[in-house]
Amino acid sequence: MPDVQSTVVEFVNKLRKRKIEGSQATAKCTVELLRSVISHQRVPHANQAAALIDAVKAVGEQLVAANPVELAVGNVVRRVLHIIREEDLSLTTAAMGGLDLLDASDDDDVDNCKGIGYPAMSAAVVAAAARSTLRPPSLQTLLEGTPESATVPYTSSSGADSESKTADKSSLTRKLKHDVIEGVNQLIHEIAGCHEQIAEQAIEHIHQNEVILTLGSSRTVLEFMCAAKEKKRSFRVFVAEGAPRYQGHLLAKELVARGLQTTVITDSAVFAMISRVNMVIIGAHAVMANGGVIGPVGVNMAALAAQKHAVPFVVLAGSHKLCPLYPHNPEVLLNELRSPSELLDFGEFSDCLDFGAGSGSIQVVNPTFDYVPPNLVSLFITDTGGHNPSYMYRLIADYYSADDLVM
């Protein structure tokens, strides 16, 4: 336990000092940390789920407070809490003898499991597996989701555990923890594999000879375009440079290295170029519950331009970017103001930085993120498929328990 505590403190420190950047990296670190918290947590005989939930919540609160702007942390914590609740629920139902475990192993579906053992009746895992098999979602498959879960397999590795389905408390304790950890492992895989999952769908969205506009740099966007390129689609990419950090330059470099036709434009040229563009694709920092998007600064402008010219505005987001919160005052509260030195040279401008009484001084504002309201977004592509902005609330209900929305 003490070493877990110290890793928690270390991670909190890193978050606080903004040493981890990028929501995927943060999400990955968070979920791995939570896994070790869970595995080190000693579980009492009674009310085990509550003990785990409390432990995760306690750590989660620290992490969220450390960097409230990085929403992925909170999302992952809520996901883990959701997993615990689901597992607990399924175990209690199992204990009541309502359902029997399935012993049949169906090896045909193993590719969906990515080699992880599924203990049968692990509800969250079942749901996750259901989501991945049922992409793209339709009303019917959603309604039929529960019955189909019965066919979800588990491998022999966890067989020993599942077969000893006694009412013995100690094994039950072990089982809950075990199931939760399995569920968390699944989540880790999901986060790690979200790029590929999203990129798989590229071929359906990018067509021959199209012109795609993107802004800033996002690994998801890069993989998405490369996936389309690998499928022999030929298309052109305009990259808005994404001032003041100019991450678009890096993206352009990568794209060219992979053999894509790439043009770099300034952010201010977006409106001029939009008439030639078939689709705008951007990577999100976070997707809010109302379908609004937090993305790199300048995105809102691109979205408005796209709307004016009726160009589809597509947002790529891994499921760890789905945030169950509603944006309230997003320009300020969900934003990070970085150093003005990215805009201005302190050496040259130190003269105008108000040391003379009365003379005006330069104020510099350098926000990192932009908020795009849901009505400007045409489509979300997540690892579970394409969704409408108005559908986001439904996805969120799948991933999170209502109890955890307010931490």
Residues that bind another protein (CB under 8 A): 6, 9-10, 12-13, 16-19, 65-66, 332, 337-342, 345-348, 350-351, 353-359, 363-366
Kindly state the smallest distance separating residue 334's Cβ from another protein, in Å.
12
| Closer CB to another protein, 8 or 194, in the complex | 8
Q: Which two tokens stand for residue 35?
A: 């896994």
Kindly state the smallest distance separating residue 339's Cβ from another protein, in Å.
3
| Closer CB to another protein, 9 or 99, in the complex | 9
Kindly state the smallest distance separating residue 303's Cβ from another protein, in Å.
22
Closest CA to 229 of 264, 199, 197: 199
Is the separation of the CB atoms in 285 and 321 below 8 Å? yes
Q: How far apart are CA 43 and CA 73, in angstroms?
A: 24
Kindly state the smallest distance separating residue 9's Cβ from another protein, in Å.
5
Kindly state the smallest distance separating residue 111's Cβ from another protein, in Å.
41
| Closer CB to another protein, 119 or 296, in the complex | 296
| Closer CB to another protein, 37 or 270, in the complex | 37
Long-range contacts, stretch 47-55, CB < 8 angstroms, 24+ apart = 48/88, 48/172, 48/173, 48/176, 48/177, 49/84, 49/85, 49/87, 49/88, 49/176, 52/84, 52/176, 52/177, 52/180, 53/81, 53/84, 53/85
Sequence length of the chain is 407
Residue found by looking up tokens 């300020």 in the block: 332
| Closer CB to another protein, 63 or 270, in the complex | 63
Kindly state the smallest distance separating residue 327's Cβ from another protein, in Å.
16
| Closer CB to another protein, 16 or 231, in the complex | 16
| Closer CB to another protein, 236 or 338, in the complex | 338
Kindly state the smallest distance separating residue 73's Cβ from another protein, in Å.
14
| Closer CB to another protein, 115 or 360, in the complex | 360
| Closer CB to another protein, 189 or 249, in the complex | 249
Q: How far apart are CA 33 and CA 30, in angstroms?
A: 5
Kindly state the smallest distance separating residue 333's Cβ from another protein, in Å.
8
| Closer CB to another protein, 346 or 393, in the complex | 346
How far, in Å, are 78, 81, 176, 203, 375 from residue 43 at the CA level? 20, 15, 10, 47, 46
Kindly state the smallest distance separating residue 286's Cβ from another protein, in Å.
18
Three-state DSSP string of 71-107: HHHHHHHHHHHHHHHHHHHHHHHHHCCCCCCCCCCCH
β-strand pairing of 286-287 with 385-387: unpaired
Q: Which helix (H) or strand (E) holds 18?
A: none
Q: Which two tokens stand for residue 335?
A: 């934003």
Is the separation of the CB atoms in 399 and 82 below 8 Å? yes
Q: Which two tokens stand for residue 324?
A: 């169950």
Q: Which two tokens stand for residue 22?
A: 């990028």
Residue found by looking up tokens 């407070």 in the block: 65
Kindly state the smallest distance separating residue 343's Cβ from another protein, in Å.
10
Q: How far apart are CA 318 and CA 167, in angstroms?
A: 39
Sign of the alpha-carbon dihedral angle for 343, 361, 331, 277:
negative
